[in-house]
A and B are shown apart, each in its own frame.
Chain A
Amino acid sequence: MLPILSTVGMSFWQEKLSLKPWTDLLFDTPIFYRMFWNSVFYAFVIVILELCIAVPCAFGLVTAKMRGKKIIFMIYLILMMMPLQVTLLPNYIGLRDMGLINTRMGIILPMIFSAFGIIIMHQYMMNLDEAQIEAARLETSSVLKVLIYVVVAQMKTCIIATAVFIFAECFNMLEQPMLFLKDERLKNLTVFIMNASDYEGKVLFPASVIFLIPVLILYLYFNETLEKGIKL
């Protein structure tokens, strides 16, 4: 808690107690708004798309009977543990060949296929209630319906917990926008804070405070869900 409070404190300080850093940021640094919305936009889009990809994949990994399933799981496990700097280069080359460098898609696409969501969802789905799936299969033969009405309904808490973690991670990303984007207007708030000294005034601390807000809201709002989610 202490670091957060002192960040808030520092944001009202410029030689003496003042609102100057805040006015500098909010009125004289228009690019800040753009980057803030970029951060929020990237995080939201990635959370939603990543869940749409990871939940079915984890479901497949748990229920399907096929050879090589273990190998796929191992590959994801290793991919999840790889340092970011290692995965960035293949991502960069893949994006470059598709001409997606310096576009929003270039940030979003590699992130939504990240192994983190798949592994976490897989761990949660290990204790999925199979009887319910069997029962649902008598009603419908559509995997999609089973997924939505049974799996997602059962896993709500876990999915929300995962979503919060993915959101926090995306909100926090620095290397991808720094390396994949050239256009300032596409970058996110982390880059802004990194380069805060380039802008007029002491905008660093107020920017950090605003940066904390979305994640703190999510954290406080989903506090109980998170607590349940991590205990499973």
Chain B
Amino acid sequence: MNKKRGKMRLSWNRKCCICMLPAIMGTLIFSLIPFFRVLYYSMINNQFEKSFALISNYRRVLENEYFRIAFKNSIMLILICVPILVVLAIVISLILVFGKMKQKGIQISFILPMVIPTASIAVIWRQFFSDIENIFPVYLLFIWKNIGICIILLTAVFASVDKEIFEAAYMEGAGPMKIHLHMTLPISAPTIFFTVLLSIVNSFRIFKESYLYYGTNYPPDYGYTLQYYMNNHFLKLNYQNLSVSAVFNTLFAGMIIAVGLIFIRRFQR
């Protein structure tokens, strides 16, 4: 009987590999294989003729005025919002960890904005900021929504910093500002970089917030981001333009993610 069992059974390691199978199959079917079709669509002129038109497709999209505005706005969001968000998160986390305030419960309260449905919040945001005609309400919404996860990540790493080195520095007369600037932050650099990366990635996702805030497919020019561009072409089902911008977006996001991850790796060593 023992012999039979041995024959029938797969090795443990094999079984662990099989555990991954459902997820990998799903990802292949719904994301990776279709992505190659997207690549293919971005290279042909239309679904019927199917002749090669890579260069003209890309040129048409990249020279489009709206695509450019969208790209510029997306970059602006990264350059303005992400630094504010991360610095704010660092300051709050430092106060939470090293300040004398009781921190129990405060940390958890920052999760609330993460789980609250955006639709409900965008609605009230519209009421508050109905007469402001610039992008800042959306920026504020972005920061409000994303600061929670940053604070959670940062407080965790700040709390794990060895307290003894502070005392040594304190003995030598360094003020709290100096200690944190020269010791806490460099020690936590990998996590801080991860927070920056995560915020950039989340800034690609601001679309839903912004869309619900403006409540239209065609927001004012300053609010028009790459995601609007893609969304509008989605509604028209213009596969070529859509594919080109998807590939472009993938490369753009992929580049930032790759650079970010490599940077974090470096710092961990």
Contact = CB atoms under 8 A, between A and B. Distances in A.
Interface in B193-220: 197-198, 201, 204-205, 207-208, 211-212, 215
A141 interface: yes
Contacts, number: 213
Interface string B124-161: 11011000000000000000000000001000100000
B253 A193 contact: no
A143 B212 contact: no
Contacts of A193: 119-120, 123, 212
Contacts of A90: 30-32, 34-35, 37-38, 246
B234 A78 contact: no
Nearest to A195: B215
B30 A57 contact: no
Given A94-B31, A175-B208, A212-B120, A56 B26 contact: no
B123 A168 contact: no
A65 B253 contact: no
A93 interface: yes
Nearest to A56: B19
Most buried by B among A54, A64, A219: A64
Given A64-B13, A64-B19, A227-B107, A209 B120 contact: yes
A124 B156 CA distance: 15
Q: Is the interface of A mostly helix, strand, loop or mixed?
A: helix
Nearest to A143: B15
B23 A118 contact: yes
A189 B26 contact: no
A180 B156 CA distance: 39
Contacts of A3: 120-121, 124-125
Contacts of B9: 141
A214 B68 CA distance: 40
Given A3-B124, A54-B23, A215 B227 contact: no
Nearest to A164: B115
Nearest to B249: A86
Interface of A: 1, 3-4, 6-7, 10, 53-54, 56-57, 59-61, 63-66, 72, 75-79, 81-95, 97, 109-110, 112-113, 115, 118, 137, 141, 143, 147, 164-165, 168, 171-172, 174-175, 179, 189-190, 193-194, 197, 204-205, 208-209, 211-212, 215-216, 218-219, 223, 226-227, 230-231
20 contacts: A3-B125, A57-B22, A57-B23, A63-B16, A64-B13, A78-B258, A81-B253, A83-B201, A83-B207, A84-B227, A85-B234, A85-B249, A89-B34, A89-B230, A92-B34, A92-B234, A165-B115, A189-B119, A193-B120, A194-B215
Closest 5 CB pairs of A and B: A113-B26, A83-B204, A60-B19, A64-B16, A57-B23
